[in-house]
C-alpha cells in the first residue's frame, strides 16, 4: 500500500569529531569535561563545520564519554540539530533506548559549551540525563545575534524540580571567546 | 582515521500513517486540518504505534499536506520524537533544508493535537513555520501523567513576538478524548 519515504535524519559527526568520539576517553572532573566540550565548539568554528556550540554526555561516576554533539543545523540541514540535541540523539542511538535513565546504566550528565535554548532545555528534561553543566551564558549567544527562545530562571528551576542537577558558568569566559570568534569570522546566524 | 559510527535517526512513519502522507491531500480550513491531525493521534493510540499525539505541517495558502508526525518516542527509541518534532524533521527532510521559511516556498503552518511541551515549542520557533494551531490544552496531557515542562503564557507570547501566529483550543474536546482513551487503554507514560 505504502511507499513510506522512510526519511531518516543523519546524525553524522564531522570527521574530526568522529575521531574524537571513537577514541575511548575518560575526563576526570567538571573542568576536564568542560574543556573537552569547549574544544568541540572551537573546532566546529575553526573547521567551518558549524556554529560555536559543543556538547557531550559523560558517565557521571567515571567520566567516560558516551557521545558528543556539535552544532549541525546547516551541515545536516535540520533546525533541531543544536549541539545538545545532537549529543542526546547520538547517545540514545548508541544505547538503543529512548532514555538515558535506567537501573542498568550509570547516571549520565550533559556538558554544554553554552546555556541551552528553550528547545534544548526541554530536550534535556526528556533525555534522562541526571545533571546539566553549562559554560557560556545565554547572553553570550544573544550578543552575536542568536535567539535563545523563552528561557528564564524558572526554566532551570523546572529541571532541578525534575531531579536534574544544574551547574552554570563553568569556564564561561573560554566558551564565550569561541562564540565571539564565530562572529568575528562572519559565521552564519541561522536563527536570528 | 575515523570509523564514524554515522548514526542516523529513523523518521519512519507507521504504515498506516505513511499511507496517509503518501496520498496527496489538501485540507481546506482550520477545522479540516485539525480533524486530520486528531485522527492521526487517534490511530496512533488505536493501532498501538505510540502516544496520543499527532501533528502535521500544511501549506498555509492552499492546505496542501507537506509532512505529518505522530508520537514515536517508544517506537523509534528517541525521547525527542514527539509528534511535532517528528513532523518538523520529516518536513525539513522532504524539502532538504534546515528551515521552512524562505522566499521560494509557501508559508507553512503546524497543527498539533495537543499544546506542545517546552521542547516542541522551542523546536517550532526554530522550524520556520509561520503559524501554530493547537487542539487539546496541556492540562489534558498532564491530567494523565505526562510532563509538559516549563511552558507558560510567556512561552506563547515569545512565539507571537517572533512572528508566529498562535491559535489554541481548536477542537480541544475531541483531542482530549483521544488522550483520555490512551490512559484508559493503559498506555505507557514515557516521561511522567
DSSP code of residue A149: -
**Residue showing cell 520529516:** B90
Q: What percent of chain B has pLDDT over 70?
A: 96
- How many angstroms separate the CA of residue B32 from the nearest CA in chain A? 23
| Chain B residues near residue A154 by CB distance under 8 angstroms | 150, 152
**Average pLDDT, integer, range B19-28:** 92
- How do A54-59 and A65-70 pair as beta strands? antiparallel
Of A10, A21, A158, the CB nearest to B8: A10
Shortest CA distance to A164 belongs to which of B156, B43, B150, B37? Answer: B150
Which class does domain B28-150+159-184 fall in?
alpha beta
A172 CA: distance to closest CA in chain B (Å): 24
**CATH fold of the domain at A35-184:** Cytidine Deaminase; domain 2 (3.40.140)
Q: For position A5, what pLDDT does the model report? A: 60
pLDDT digits (tens, 9 = 90+) for B94-139: 999 999 998 899 999 999 999 999 999 999 999 999 999 999 999 9
**Residuewise pLDDT in 10s, chain A (192 residues):** 344 566 899 999 999 999 999 999 999 999 999 999 999 999 999 999 999 999 999 999 999 999 999 999 999 999 999 999 999 999 999 999 999 998 899 999 999 999 999 999 999 999 999 999 999 999 999 999 999 999 999 999 999 999 999 999 999 999 999 999 999 999 999 875
Cα B192–chain centre separation: 19
What is the domain partition of chain B in residue ranges? Answer: 28-150+159-184
Residues of chain B contacting A99 with CB distance shorter than 8 Å: 79, 190-191
Residue contact A98–B89, C-beta within 8 A: no
Taking CA atoms, what residue in B is nearest to A121?
B119
For residues B107 and B129, give the distance between their C-alpha atoms in angstroms, rounded to a whole number: 7
* Higher per-residue confidence, B86 vs B2: B86
Question: Nearest residue of B to residue A74 by CA position?
Answer: B98
CB-based contact, A6 to chain B, within 8 Å: yes
Parallel, antiparallel, or unpaired: how do β-strands B54-59 and B65-70 relate? antiparallel
C-alpha cell recorded at residue B129: 513555520
Q: What is the Cα–Cα distance from A77 to B81, expressed in whole angstroms? A: 17
Q: Please give the pLDDT value at position A183.
A: 97
Give the nearest chain B residue to A16 (CA atoms).
Answer: B2
pLDDT at B148 over 90: yes
Q: For position B65, what pLDDT does the model report?
A: 97
pLDDT for the residue numbered B38: 98
The answer for A55, left when phi > 0, alpha when psi is -120 to 50, beta otherwise, is: beta
Rounded CA-CA distance B99/B91 in Å is 9
Amino acid at each position: 500500500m505504502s511507499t513510506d519515504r522512510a526519511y531518516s535524519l543523519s546524525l553524522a559527526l564531522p570527521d574530526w569529531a568522529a575521531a574524537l568520539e571513537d577514541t575511548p576517553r575518560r575526563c576526570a572532573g567538571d573542568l576536564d569535561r568542560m574543556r573537552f566540550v569547549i574544544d568541540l565548539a572551537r573546532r566546529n568554528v575553526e573547521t567551518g563545520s558549524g556554529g560555536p556550540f559543543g556538547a557531550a554526555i559523560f558517565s557521571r561516576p567515571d567520566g567516560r564519554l558516551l557521545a558528543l554533539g556539535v552544532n549541525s543545523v546547516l551541515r545536516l540541514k535540520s533546525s533541531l540539530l543544536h549541539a545538545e540535541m545532537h549529543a542526546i540523539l547520538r547517545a540514545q542511538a548508541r544505547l538503543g533506548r529512548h532514555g538515558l535513565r535506567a537501573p542498568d546504566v550509570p547516571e549520565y550528565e550533559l556538558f554544554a559549551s553554552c546555556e541551552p535554548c528553550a528547545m534544548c532545555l526541554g530536550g534535556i528534561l526528556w533525555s534522562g540525563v541526571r545533571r546539566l553543566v553549562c559554560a557560556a551564558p545565554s547572553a553570550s549567544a544573544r550578543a552575536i545575534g542568536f535567539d535563545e527562545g523563552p528561557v528564564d530562571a524558572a526554566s532551570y528551576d523546572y529541571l532541578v524540580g525534575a531531579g536534574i542537577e544544574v551547574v552554570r558558568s563553568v569556564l564561561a569566559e573560554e566558551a564565550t571567546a569561541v562564540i565571539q570568534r564565530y562572529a568575528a569570522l562572519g559565521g552564519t546566524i541561522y536563527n536570528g
